[in-house]
Structure 1
Amino acid sequence: MLPLWMVLALSCFASGLNRKDFVNENDSISPNIVFIMVDDLGWNDVGYHNSEIATPNLDRLAMDGVRLEQYYTAPVCGPTRAQFLSGKYSIHIGIPGNILACHRSGLTTNVPTIADKLKEQGYSTHMIGKWHAGFHSESLLPTNRGFDTFRGHLLGHGDHYTHTRKYNGEPYLDFYRDAVPSNDSWGRYSTEIFTERAVDIIRTDESDDKPLFLFLSYQAPHNPLQVPERYLEQYSVMTDGQRKSYSAMVSAIDEGVGEIVDALTEKGLYDNTVIIFTSDNGGDVGSGGSNYPLRGNKGSLYQGGIRSVGFVSSPLIARPERSVRDLIHVTDWLPTLLHIAGGNVEKLDIDGVNQWNTISTASPSPRQEILHNIGLDKTWPRRRNRYDNFNIRTKAALTVWPWKILTGRQSRNIVYPNPVTNLRRWQEARWNRPKSSAEVQLFNIELDPSESRNRASDKPQLVNRLLDKLKEYEQTVMPSVSTRKTALCDPALRGGIWGPYT
């Protein structure tokens, strides 16, 4: 007769489950987690989506792992990061729009972060790169939000070499080592600095007895379009200067990811590591990105703004080398990663759901709907119309698979062409494109991923049901945490350094 442990092992292997799903909670095999988030990467900006940009390391990881082909984020940077850290929808943390430097906005301290939760599970936690989750108070800094270490910048963007951001036309330093400003990286390219820091943590982390959680948040390919010359060489045939620089920035990220994988392998950690790669929103077409064939741009609630590149790669995945077309949202990472870390996700007060079985074993996703956002602008008067259950002048979007409803006037409403086909002409005309005239739009995004056919007039009953859902969500909206702009943020008041000012 087989011993019990062997029976359990064979049973789990046969059902496609990961060893993590049946070991007892005292068995310290929690996987290392490397979460890589890039900034403004478009749908059409990775090789495995048939882009002309060379991303061999990302392609290999994605094809060996699980490609998330219906993965959604916020349309802009700050809310995506806040949702990732908290596991909550933007409307439930008071961050419906971007987190602005001088508006005292950010993820409030009464909301625990994913780093807090993983520390409770015994993880060593490290943050690298772009924070953009609030900094007006010291309590909002990464090292006070669950991270043991931090190396990077606090604001949403800045110069990739000087690590400065302008205020009233003057550049001021935005670069930190933990909670201390530092100018020791001046003149070095941000992507290379952040890669080097990640590799150093992997190779020298003194917490070898603890599993590792590394949140690497690259600043690229967000503008300004800056990159070392050596990355430009392979794109010499490109005629569009923005696309050329943007492509080179993506290649620098790809090289960095390859170095991180090499470091994990050399340290003997790769076989027990889960690597997640995502963008924080869609690409900025005005800065060289491409979301083709999706409609819209960064900042838009169309697919091009919120349907983001994402994959998971790990030897711990039971059924790798496939794509997932189930709905997955950025809020889902907290419960998913907490689950594989051995934590209890049953009593969490969050909007995210545990997607590990969907990712690892191809089980159906527990998620069938995503609230993309509800604007908090209450100044729009309600018009008389056939919809009484939700003010359709409110800018909002909701997906209940396979249908997606949008209300309010949506901007940047075209499908930008493949960059190979005269992107410059479209970029020059992009701001002259009118906003959508329809205040209710309904798309079957399974059959019409480019959102080309508005079905709202064809399906009034479905529209009403979805508006009812938006109304239910609207009743749970938390007031915005953002305040009016204040001059107290002026870095000149603190010796020329961006930092806490309240």
Structure 2
Amino acid sequence: MSKQNIPPYARGYEGFKGTVGRTVEQSDPWWPEEKRAPGNSPNIVLVLLDDMGYSDIGPFGSEIATPTLDRLAQRGVRLTNYHTTPVCSPARAAVLTGLNPHRAGYASVANSDPGYPGFRLELGEDVATLPEVLRGHGYATYAVGKWHLTRDALLNAAADKSSWPIQRGFDQYYGALEAFNSFFHPNQIVQDNTIVQRESTPEGYYLTDDYTGHALEFIKGLRASDSRKPFFLYFAHTAMHGPLGAKESDIDKYRGTYDVGWDAIRQQRYHRQVQAGIIPAGTPLPEAVGKLGREIPSWESLDEDTRFIYAKYMEVYAAMVDNVDQSLGRIVDLLEELGELDNTIIVFTSDNGGTAEGGPEGTRSYFSRFANLPGIPGDFERDTPLNPELIGGPRAMSHYPEGWGNVSNTPFRFYKGQTYAGGIRVPLIISWPRGLPTDGSIRRQYQYVTDLTPTLLELAGLKHPGTRHNLPAKSIDGASFATVLHNPEAPSTHTEQYSEWGGNRGFYRDGWKVVANHEPGTPYDDGEWELYHVEQDPNEINNLACRYPEKLRELADAWERAAWENTVFPLDDRSNPHSYRRRAAEAEFDKPVTILPGTPKLERYRSSKLTKLRAFRVYIDVEYDDGNEGILLSHGDQGGGYALYIKEGKLWFAFNEYGRLHDVDCGSIPIGHHDIVLNTIPLPNFRATHKVYLDGRQAGALDEVWALIGFAPFSGIDVGVNRGGPVHWGLYEQHGSYRYTGKLHSVRYVPGPRTDYDPELIAELERDVEAAGD
């Protein structure tokens, strides 16, 4: 094939160098048996945490007990200058492909679809994944945990599954396709290509433990059938993503630990980092600043009640980190029992820095924090004042305040979503006793998330085929840092790198970095750029833009060149209505739908299209006989939702307003056949009224409550039962899933007009105006 005949998406493939220096020929078949990994090839365990900051584990300065990670760091290598992307889906795409996130199609998280080239939010057919490559070399490939590489419109049971884990190279998968989940009552679990339906979650259930159990099961199952076949385990934790939740036994370990406050804990972590050589001695600790530049109050300035609540949040966070370490410990113990620990490459890192999603004061109503649409009123409640004792448990959707996020990112400034070090510099530990140094040494060379795929392939002695399904694949952008792992004096293999998310931009080259912290809705201009000599100023305190304008111009221009090369444009800060566009095929989701009893729970995003920011009616065809009880309809969970149920001869409407429960008595229900209607009427300013009709007569109403928006309701629609997270906690405690005991014929949703402040509607109107002007 001549160079001019190579399709544009595959340019750069010809003469592609494999990660061990062998040229891949275009005539190479997908790996035949004789080219596959020998029996002594290393296993690979890649553990990826979600939203965990630089200092949250013991080997990087934390007070949290992480004995397994301590052990791996002591007999492995720590990379202290490793960088990732500002948010999770782009990082996951980069980890698993070696491509820059925009080239992989992930400019953002998989919860939008504006139609730009870098926003495919699906891995293309010309993108080869690490599990696909390893499986081609004879590896068994397993994934557990968070996926978040499938567009939200493709999470339902009828969707095309080409972007689900099994179709992207994994032999087996168990986890959640969504961005986050409840740790006690997950809204959706997928096993391979099947959505798991549970009547209720088992007593004592905890999501991380569930993931871990399946990971162990996969490994044990392989070894029972094949003693030599190497495996790749991708363990992508839902922790530390909100809503935060932990087991009481783990929280108990940290009771009182954080009463000293975030100022003291941050200082302690900083001193341990200096003492351990994680950061150079003399590195100053920046002023504590919130995500939007707000001052983080000193701990002593807070009143006693506030300190109690804030400390409780961090106890839960620490318990989650502790539990993750326990999870990894169970895997390490199994590998040791099998005699395979020394020949297993274990990688531990985070997808981005610690987050400020909890806001300045934290929250017990996490979903209300995602109500970030244009026009949200200033009095919208961001923290439902539940009993503080519920923080960290299944009844509160919690997240810690940004003061603790600032501690997580010690010694850096800022947070997830930003291109400062706090958002993109994270811990990385690699252990492989058979093939790497075991002296617990540190590497300070700059490396980037795209380097993991080529590094793992080189360590395993394997090459990237440069193809997928016998067709040319996009060449990877990362560079193996195997030489750095072997030699602390080796130069970095990744000397420059762009970053971007939501209009926030950054570019690193040879120890210098420019950063643009963009305010949505404002112009993208040169005045946003800041310049830091991060080799000498790693936590980006001294802005040198005025002192070295030529260097700033050089790096800003380099960012723009990289942006064009990586399909970064157009920049999207979510201030433009175009950002909220969706594909025309999603119009199917706006049609009325009849749901019969026995139907699996209708997935969250599919359900939301029937109800969110619009009028809708629900028609329930039901028979009632004396003594019949139970849920007729439920949509949502503890974090927000609604339900209709019959109890003790009465019809009730329950509305969970981000954790605040309204229970409306709709009166007695006579024996016989009934038509029940729920009529939801949207109001101005993101509020709504709900009316319930029994056989044509209004039986109850709930006036002017906040509309459920953002990710609420997070669980989908259930008919005749409330599986998973309960909308009404009191009913759950008494009756569990509370399946209706009478005859329920059907539930029919009829979506009505959308509100004039629905961003998707505004985007469609903008599109129509533009089309009319063409």
Q: Which residue of 479, 487, 500 corresponds with 1:353?
A: 479
Distance 1:176 1:27 in 2: 32
Return the alpha-carbon distance in structure 2 between the equivalents of residues 489 and 354 of structure 1. 44
Tell me how far 1:474 sits from its aligned partner.
Answer: 2.2
Query: Do the aligned partners of residues 134 and 109 (structure 1) sit closer, same or farther apart at CA in structure 2, a change above 3 Å counting?
Result: farther
Q: Structure 2 regions of 5+ residues with no counterpart?
A: 1-19, 22-34, 115-119, 155-159, 260-310, 359-398, 467-473, 571-578, 607-774
Partner SS state of residue 139, structure 1: coil
The separation in 1 between residues aligned to 2:173 and 2:501, in whole angstroms, is 32
Residue 268 (structure 1) aligns with: 339
Distance in 1, matches of 2:197 and 2:349, equals 29
Change (3 A) 1:143 1:336: same
Q: What is the root-mean-square deviation of aligned Cα atoms in Å?
A: 3.0
Q: Contact (CA 8 Å) 2:175, 2:189: kept in 1 or not?
A: yes
2:144 and 2:330 map into 1 onto residues whose CA distance is 15
Partner Cα distance (1:249, 1:461) in 2: 46
- Deviation of the 1:53 alpha carbon: 1.5
CA distance 1:25–1:224, change in 2 (3 Å): closer
| Structure 1 equivalent of residue 518 of structure 2 | 409
Is 1:152 the counterpart of 2:175 in the alignment?
A: yes
Give runs of aligned pairs for residues 24-423 of structure 1, distance below 5 A.
Answer: 27-100=38-111, 105-135=121-151, 136=154, 137-164=160-187, 174-184=188-198, 186-187=201-202, 188-205=205-222, 206-237=225-256, 238-239=258-259, 240-285=311-356, 286=358, 287-288=399-400, 289=405, 290-320=408-438, 321-345=440-464, 349-362=475-488, 363-373=490-500, 395-409=504-518
Measure the CA separation in 2 of the matches of 1:366 and 1:212: 27
Partner Cα distance (1:324, 1:197) in 2: 33
Q: What CA distance in whole angstroms lies between the structure 1 residues aligned with 2:251 and 2:594?
A: 36
Question: CA 1:158–1:374 in 2, change beyond 3 Å: closer, same or farther?
Answer: closer
Paired position in structure 2 for 1:496: 601
Highest relative contact order (Cα 8 Å, sep 6+), 1 or 2? 1
Match of 1:422? Answer: none
User: Does the 8 Å CA contact 2:145/2:175 hold for their aligned counterparts?
Assistant: yes
Partner of 1:418: none
Amino acid at match of 1:141: W
Distance 1:27 1:260 in 2: 23
Q: Partners of 1:496 and 1:102 in 2: how far apart?
A: 24
Alignment-mate amino acid for residue 510 of structure 2: W
- The 8 Å contact of residues 409 and 437 in structure 1, kept in 2 or not, is answered as no
Identical-residue share of aligned pairs (%): 34
Distance in structure 1 (CA, Å) of the matches to 2:227 and 2:588:
42
Q: Secondary structure at the match of 1:129?
A: strand
Whether contact under 8 Å (1:142, 1:150) holds in the other structure is yes
Counterparts of 1:500 and 1:407, CA distance in 2: 33
Query: Quick one: distance in 2 between partners of 1:142 and 1:26?
Result: 22
1:25-69 Cα deviation digits (max 9, x unpaired): 875321100000011111121112222222121122112210010
Contact 1:278 1:308 in 2 (8 A): yes
* Preserved CA contact (<8 Å) 1:94 1:477: no
Residues 48 and 59 in structure 1, CA contact (< 8 A), matched pair in contact too: yes
Map of 1:444 onto structure 2: 533
Partner letter of residue 272 of structure 1? N
Partner of 2:544: 455
Q: In 2 relative to 1, CA 160–101 (structure 1 residues): closer, same or farther, beyond 3 Å?
A: farther
Decide which structure has greater strand share: 2
- Alignment partner of 2:452: what SS? helix
**Deviation string, structure 1 residues 329-385 (Cα, Å, up to 9, x no partner):** 11111111122233224967011111122113333222111222266xxxxxxxxxx
> Following the alignment from structure 2 to structure 1, what is the Cα–Cα distance between the partners of residues 547 and 449?
31
Within-5 A mapping of 1:463-478: 463-478=552-567
Question: For residues 605 and 141 of structure 2, what CA distance do their matches in structure 1 show?
Answer: 22
Which shows bigger deviation, 324-333 or 474-483? 474-483
Aligned-partner Cα distance in 1 for 2:453–2:413: 29
- Cα deviation 1:264-306 (Å, max 9, x = unaligned): 0001111110000011111124333421210001111111110
- Aligned pair count reads 431
Provide TM-score, normalisation by structure 2.
0.52
SS in 1 for 2:565: coil
In structure 2, give the amino acid aligned to 1:193.
D
> Higher Cα Rg: structure 1 or 2?
2
Could you tell me which amino acid in structure 2 is paired with residue 257 of structure 1?
A: L
